[in-house]
A and B are shown apart, each in its own frame.
Chain A
Amino acid sequence: MLAHIWSHFDYWAMIFLAMAGLFIVIARGNLIKKLVGLGIFQTSVYLLYVAPGKIVGGTAPIVAEGFRVYSNPLPHVLILTAIVVGVATLALGLALVVRIREAYDSIEEDEILRRDQAPDGGGEA
């Protein structure tokens, strides 16, 4: 069992990070902390792609004398794209939090919901 976990440790790391990130998104009321959790959740997936791309003893995929085992470069390129998407998402998320703080003077989820309920009891915006 332990040997099995050890030989797949990159997957276990990915599962742990994904669950930790998702937990933070769900459990925390602070909008910034939620984004941190979301970032961890997204990062865990990078590991799922990048780790299997590496083969022990593998080299860069360039045809050369004496090398027969190559690592797959494609996952890294894909994740480069995913990282860019992640950065854009985080930047947009933080920008929204700045605007939310300007409008509500708070970045706590329950506080924001409470402030929206107070002024318009009748549903008239």
Chain B
Amino acid sequence: MNLAAHLPALQVVLPLAAAPLAVLLRGRGAAFMLVTLAAWAAFAVSILLWLQVNASGPISYALGSWAPPWGIEYRVDSLSALLLMLVCGIAAVVLPYARASIERELRQDVHYLFYAMFALCLAGLAGIAITGDAFNLFVFLEISSLSSYVLIALGRDRRALVAAYQYLIMGTIGATFIVVGVGLLYLKTGTLNLADMGVRLQEMTSHRPVLAALAFLTVGISLKLALFPLHQWLPNAYAYAPSAVSAFLAATATKVSVYALLRFYFSVFGETAVFKRLPMEDLMLILALAGMFVASAVAIFQHDLKRLFAYSSVAQVGYIVLGISFDSVTGLTATIAHLVNHAVTKGGLFLLLGAVMAGMGGTTLARVHGIGRVMPLTAFGIVLCGLGLIGVPGTAGFVSKWYLILAALEKGQWWLVFLIVASSLLAVAYVWRFVEAAYFHAPRADLAAVREAPAGLAIPAWTLVGATIWFGLDTSVTVGSAARAAAMLLGTGAP
């Protein structure tokens, strides 16, 4: 048996199998080892898949040897390969951090369940990115969503329970909208294979059930990716979840939903049906801009750092959707590059906030006064990630904003350039609130003896901070893959 031919199946099966095994093992050390090994193996598989796709084009894997479109197909192309690498890479970094972090934040007897849920969430997110089957996509979406509700509810604060409940209600409504959309498409086309669906929809893109399906899918997926004004579940969920969970979800969950949106828009409905015949460009532009400005403005007035940066995530989703609204190769390149860049930056940021939580006992702005003196490295890392969110040259955020501005100029919308820069100024304001608290105030008397975060927390966090800088200087992986994926989605280049 040739193992290399089964890499696409292994991508999902490794974390999926690790979850029940972790529950059976019960020991928290054993569960940690198992899930971490599975995540690292999945990361290795995703790198191999990425190399293989770059060398020889998309991979189609017939699950159980049932040939597509009748059987379930796993399909890896340049876009899904990048997403898989992102999701598994973040999981591989966050898991070692989680060991040190949940030691402080969770009761010991639930640790093995935490690892099992984490593995399930990873399996679900990887599944969404790899599957070529519409209903399979829904099932994986629910696997990742249900496990993330549990992970959020594990938070120490009782408000985590309410946040998880609200996310469950909103997330289930979103998922149900997605099922309705998939159902209508299935009724019209008689197939669930995404590529096959795309071919069969060519002649009927203006039929009313197809338009209704487009509407249901857009609303459903927008709920999951927290597009303004459907973002209400996000700030509380990120703010009260355990630190490792905030970092993992902030870096991956909304990004994978963006992937699902891109997949449906460009591979199933087709670019002409969505953007040329319907006013989707204007609609997405307006929602993206509203998200960028309103969420950034709300972020400025938050008292808690985790909530502040959660609102910043909503604003960053605005930039990602803005790139989609341009409907051009440059715009999509910006979107896909920003998926990766923002995931790395925000992931690093939430990992560092977890270190702050461990050191200072909380993340409110009043509590972190003077953290620049007692935890200088952590504070400096947060400032670096903050610069990445603003989009300062030399950080990953600059690269994606640069491509956004190029895309705007390409379409002759020079006024958008001013808006992009203006919204970045709002980001300066909310990052400054941290800088002011960290460097221009003396630490509280009872916190003056706090030490720098331990290595178990600092090393994973700095790995992602390092990646933020690295992707700002060397864009061959991010922008290179993003440009290939964008050309593939718009059908202008080799897949």
> Chain B at the A interface: mostly helix, strand, loop or mixed?
helix
> What would 30 A/B residue contacts be, using CB atoms closer than 8 Å?
A18-B180, A25-B169, A25-B173, A38-B169, A38-B172, A41-B173, A42-B176, A45-B180, A48-B183, A48-B184, A49-B186, A82-B138, A85-B142, A85-B146, A89-B168, A92-B149, A93-B165, A93-B168, A99-B161, A103-B161, A116-B159, A122-B303, A122-B366, A123-B364, A123-B366, A124-B362, A124-B364, A124-B367, A125-B159, A125-B362
Give which listed residue, B146, B153, B179, contacts A82 with CB less than 8 A.
B179
**Is A20 an interface residue, CB under 8 A from the partner?**
no
Contacting residues of chain B (182-205) with chain A, CB-CB under 8 angstroms:
183-184, 186-187
- A93-B168, A100-B161 known, 17 other contacts, Cβ within 8 Å: A18-B180, A22-B173, A48-B184, A49-B186, A75-B186, A82-B179, A85-B175, A89-B142, A92-B150, A93-B169, A96-B153, A96-B161, A99-B153, A103-B161, A124-B364, A125-B157, A125-B304
**Bound-state Cα–Cα, A42 to B142, Å:** 13
Question: Count of A-B contacts with CB under 8 A?
Answer: 80
Distance of A9 from chain B, by nearest CB (Å): 16
CB pair B165 A88 closer than 8 Å: no
Give the residue among B139, B168, B366 with the most A Cβ atoms within 10 A: B168
- Are A81 and B183 within 8 A (Cβ)? no
Q: Is A19 part of the contact surface with B, judged by Cβ < 8 Å?
A: no
CB distance from B170 to the nearest CB of A (A): 10
Binding site for B on A (CB under 8 A): 18, 22, 25, 31, 34, 38, 41-42, 45, 48-49, 52, 75, 78, 81-82, 85, 88-89, 92-93, 96-97, 99-100, 103-104, 112, 116, 122-125
- Do A124 and B366 contact each other (CB < 8 Å), given the known contacts A34-B169, A93-B168? yes
**Chain A: CB-nearest residue to B156:** A125
Chain A residues near B161: list those with CB within 8 A: 96, 99-100, 103
A32 to chain B, nearest CB (A): 11
B19 is an interface residue with CB less than 8 A from chain A: no
User: A104: which of B158, B169, B303 is its contact (CB, 8 Å)?
Assistant: B158
| B168 engages A49 (CB within 8 Å) | no
Answer whether A41 and B146 are a contact pair too, CB < 8 Å, given A96-B168, A103-B161, A124-B366. Answer: no
Query: Are A89 and B146 touching (Cβ within 8 A)?
Result: yes
Residues in B neighbouring A123, C-beta threshold 8 A: 303-304, 364, 366
Residues of chain A within 8 A (CB-CB) of B180 are 18, 45, 48
Check B275 for interface membership: any CB of A closer than 8 A.
Answer: no
Question: Which among A49, A52, A96, A123 has the greatest number of chain B C-beta atoms within 10 A?
Answer: A96
**By the criterion CB–CB under 8 Å, are A103 and B158 in contact?**
yes
Q: Would you give the 0/1 interface string for B186-227, flagging 1 where the beta carbon is closer than 8 Å to chain A?
A: 110000000000000000000000000000000000000000
Give residues 452-490 of B contacting A (CB, 8 Å).
none
CA distance A105 to B200 in the complex (A): 54
CA distance A125 to B304 in the complex (A): 9
List, in ascending order, chain B residues with CB within 8 A of A93's CB: 165, 168-169
Given A81-B135, A81-B139, verify A96-B149 contact (CB < 8 Å): yes
CB-based nearest A residue for B139: A81
B135–A125 CB distance below 8 A: no
With a CB–CB cut-off of 8 A, which chain B residues contact A34? 169
Contacts A31-B165, A99-B153 known; A45 to B176 CB distance under 8 Å?
yes
Task: Let me know if A96 and B164 touch, CB within 8 A.
Answer: yes
B162 at the A interface (CB under 8 A): yes
Partner of A97, one of B146, B165, B179, B186: B165
A residues near B175, Cβ cutoff 8 Å = 85
Q: Which residues of B contact A103 (CB under 8 A)?
A: 158, 161
Cβ–Cβ contact B146 & A92, under 8 A: yes
List chain A residues, Cβ under 8 A from B169: 25, 34, 38, 93
Which residues 414-437 of B have a CB within 8 angstroms of A? none
Q: Report A109 CB to chain B, min CB distance, Å.
A: 9
Residues of the B chain whose Cβ atoms lie less than 8 Å from the Cβ of A100: 158, 161-162, 165
Q: Do A96 and B165 touch (CB < 8 A)?
A: yes
Docked-complex contact B172 and A89, CB < 8 angstroms? yes
| Contact between B146 and A88, CB atoms less than 8 A apart | yes
A103 to chain B, nearest CB (A): 4
C-alpha gap A92/B153 in the complex (Å):
10
Residues of B within 8 A of A82 (CB): 138, 179
Residues from chain A with Cβ under 8 Å of B179 in the complex? 45, 82
Complex contacts, B139 vs chain A, CB 8 Å:
81, 85
For the complex, give the distance between the alpha carbons of A48 and B183 in Å: 7
Q: What separation, in Å, do the CA atoms of A49 and B139 have in the docked complex? A: 15
Residue of A nearest to B180 (CB): A45
Nearest chain A CB to B77 CB, angstrom units: 25
The reply to whether B162 and A112 contact each other, CB–CB distance below 8 Å, is: yes
> Which residues from A are CB-within-8-Å of B304?
123, 125
Counting from the closest, the 4 A-B pairs by CB-CB distance are: A123-B303, A103-B158, A85-B142, A96-B165
CB-CB nearest in chain A for B240:
A125
- Contact at A45–B183, with CB atoms within 8 Å? yes
* Bound complex: CA A123 to CA B159 (Å): 13
Q: Which residue of chain B is the closest to A124 with respect to CB atoms?
A: B364
Alpha-carbon gap, A43 to B164, bound state (A)? 22
Interface pair B165/A78, CB less than 8 Å apart? no
For A124, list chain B residues within 8 Å (CB): 362, 364, 366-367
Residues on A with C-beta less than 8 A from B146 are 85, 88-89, 92
Q: Which residues of A contact B159 (CB under 8 A)?
A: 116, 125
Q: Give the nearest-CB partner of A35 in chain B.
A: B169
Q: State the Cβ distance, B235 to closest chain A Cβ, in Å.
A: 13
Contacts of B186 in A (CB 8 A): 49, 75
Q: Which residues of A contact B187 (CB under 8 A)?
A: 52
**Residue on A nearest B159 in the bound complex, by CB:** A116
